Amino acid sequence: MGSAATARRMQAWGLLTPMLVIMVGITAWPLMRTIWLSFTSTSIGGEPAQWVGLENYWQALSNTAFQESLGHTLYFTFVSVSLELVLGVAVGLLLNQPFKGQAFARALLVLPWALPTIVNAMMWRLIDGPEYGALNALLVQTGLLEDYRSWLGDPDIAMEMVIVADVWKNYPFVALIMLASLQSVPADLYEAARLDGAGTLARFWYVTVPGVMAPLSVAIVLRTIDAFKVFDVIYVMTKGGPADSTKALSFVVYQEAFSYLRIGSGAAYAILMAGISALLIALYVAMLRKQEGST
């Protein structure tokens, strides 16, 4: 019996070994290499690399550009995910109601989410254009704006325009999760709540929310991770400008490593960014578990 169990374990490890080797090769080795580079002065075309210890990390944490980009990233993450959550839940509830053209509306919902991020960013860059942009034309022709303005050239509003582009593309993801979750909520619960005299708001809070909380929490965590890593939409729409008002952490990492060719400090920036991201996710998951435990 014991030899048979040992044989099964050996067989299982034999089958898992190729996958483990591939995972170590494509994940663990690049990560370990990046961590090692973050403790060196490695640069492309510069002096030979030397071990500098934590100097790159102290330099990053005391760098004003790094601190400001962290603030921009947190602002972008919080606002965009919050708007996507509100809009996605509202659209999911709406599409769960029976109406003529419901199937077409559900199919149309997938369109923004299916667009590549680069295409979405290019589209919104054209819409926000200062000379021929559709947004300026709409607002001027309806009398809401007197003159054309440069939406992406104004440091006070450029980040908000980037957030609009990101929300438009990603709110369907939350809406689809919401819509799928609503299908699993028993109709009997709504009927029982209605017979008990519960109004629309009470049925939403005490029947709908507990039924969709778990899958919606997963969607929020996934969107938080994705929003914190934002790069492509900012690169295409503003390239971090104007006046660094939309420069996110990932953009700073890119500039440090590939524009200034300081690989060592760029690796330190990337490790710090990954650590902050992991910390935020851990805190968020802990909050969700605590909330689920109290309900």
- Please indicate, yes or no, if residue 245 is contained in any of the structural domains: yes
Predicted structure pTM score: 0.86
The Cα–Cα gap between 195 and 238 comes to 54
Inform me whether the pLDDT recorded for 120 exceeds 90: yes
Inform me whether the pLDDT recorded for 291 exceeds 70: no
- Please indicate, yes or no, if residue 26 is contained in any of the structural domains: no
Question: Which pLDDT does position 295 carry in this prediction?
Answer: 56
CA 169 to chain centre: 11
Average pLDDT, whole number, for the chain?
88
Q: What percent of the chain has pLDDT over 90?
A: 42
The Cα–Cα gap between 148 and 103 comes to 38
Domain count, the chain: 1
Q: What stretches of 24-129 show up as alpha helix (H) in DSSP?
A: 29-37, 55-61, 64-95, 102-114, 117-127
Q: What stretches of the chain show up as alpha helix (H) in DSSP?
A: 2-23, 29-37, 55-61, 64-95, 102-114, 117-127, 134-141, 158-182, 187-195, 200-203, 209-228, 232-237, 249-254, 263-294
pLDDT band at 292, cuts 50/70/90?
A: low
Q: What percent of the chain has pLDDT over 70?
A: 97
What mean pLDDT comes out for the span 98-104?
88
Structural domain harbouring 83: 63-293
Integer-rounded Cα radius of gyration of the chain: 24
Question: Which pLDDT does position 53 carry in this prediction?
Answer: 87
Residue from 92, 240, 97 nearest 177 by CA: 92
- Please indicate, yes or no, if residue 157 is contained in any of the structural domains: yes
What mean pLDDT comes out for the span 183-207?
87
pLDDT band at 294, cuts 50/70/90?
A: low
- Please indicate, yes or no, if residue 19 is contained in any of the structural domains: no
Question: Which pLDDT does position 68 carry in this prediction?
Answer: 93
- Please indicate, yes or no, if residue 35 is contained in any of the structural domains: no
- Please indicate, yes or no, if residue 15 is contained in any of the structural domains: no
Question: Which pLDDT does position 241 carry in this prediction?
Answer: 84
What mean pLDDT comes out for the span 175-195?
89
Question: Which pLDDT does position 2 carry in this prediction?
Answer: 65
Question: Using one digit for the tens of pLDDT, what is the confidence trace for 245-281?
Answer: 999 999 999 999 988 899 999 999 999 998 988 887 7
- Please indicate, yes or no, if residue 207 is contained in any of the structural domains: yes
Residue 213: CATH number of its domain: 1.10.3720.10
- Please indicate, yes or no, if residue 67 is contained in any of the structural domains: yes
